[in-house]
Homo-oligomer: A and B are copies of this chain.
Amino acid sequence: MRPSEIHKVKGILITLSGPSGVGKGTVISRLMELSPEIKHSVSVTTRPPRPGEIDGVQYYFTDKEHFENMINEGEILEYDSYCGHYYGTPRKPIVDAVENGDVTILDITVPGSLSVISNFPEAVSIFLLPPSFSELIRRLESRGTESPEVMQKRLAKAYHEIEMTQNFDYVLVNDDLDQTAGRILAISEAEKHRYKRLKGIEEALLKH
C-alpha cells in the first residue's frame, strides 16, 4: 500500500507580493523553469479579448454581470478594476490545482494577497524584500524614464508596502535569484506536510 493511497498530499496556493522593483516576475519565471508542478494562474477579466487572445490562455473572458455574480458567490479570490474593466483571480481553477497536487503562485499586490488569504485561508503568503531600501531605489532608478515626481510616488508606495510585511507568513530577502527560488520551493514542500493540511492521515493509516 503506497502512502498516497492512504492519504493524498494536496497542492498549495502561494501568493507572492513585494514592492515594485523587487523582482517578483523574474522569481516566478525561474520557479516555473525549476519545477514542473508550479502552475500559472489565469485571471478572469471583463475586458474584451484582443485579436489573437484565447479564452482560458491569456485570460478567462466574461461580462460584467457574470463577474459580479462570481464576486457575490465567493468565486473570485481577489479583484481590482482598471480602465472600467474588472480583473480578478478565479477560485475554481486554483481549487482544482490544489486537489491535483499542483502549486499555483500568484504575483499579486499586498491588498490582493490579504484578500486571497481571507477568501482562501489555506493559501501561503510570501513577501519578497529587496536587500535594502537603497538597493530598491537603485533598481527603480535604473529603469530610467520616470519623472522625479512619479519616482517619489513609487518610492513612497514601496515604503508603505514594506511596512505591511508583518501580515505575511514568510519573508524572503531577494538577494540571489536561485536562492530565493529554492527557498520558495522549500516553503512549498514544507507546507504540503503541515498537519493542518493532512488532518485525519493518522486515522486512515491506523486502518491499514
CA separation between A77 and B148, bound complex, in Å?
Answer: 56
Interface residues of A in 171-208 (CB under 8 A from B): 171-173, 175, 182-183, 185-187, 189-191, 193-195, 198-199, 201-202, 205-208
Does chain B have a CB within 8 A of A129? Answer: yes
Does chain B have a CB within 8 A of A165? Answer: yes
Determine the chain B residues whose CB is within 8 A of the CB of A120 once the complex forms. Answer: none
Q: A166-B202, A183-B190, A187-B190 are in contact. Are A208 and B132 (CB under 8 A)?
A: yes
Which chain B residue has the least Cβ–Cβ distance from A1?
A: B132
CB of B206 within 8 A of CB of A163, answer yes
Shortest distance between the CB of A203 and any CB in chain B (Å): 8
CB of B131 within 8 A of CB of A171, answer no
Shortest distance between the CB of A129 and any CB in chain B (Å): 6
Does chain B have a CB within 8 A of A88? Answer: no
Interface residues of A (CB under 8 A from B): 1-3, 6-7, 127, 129-135, 159, 162-163, 165-166, 168-173, 175, 182-183, 185-187, 189-191, 193-195, 198-199, 201-202, 205-208
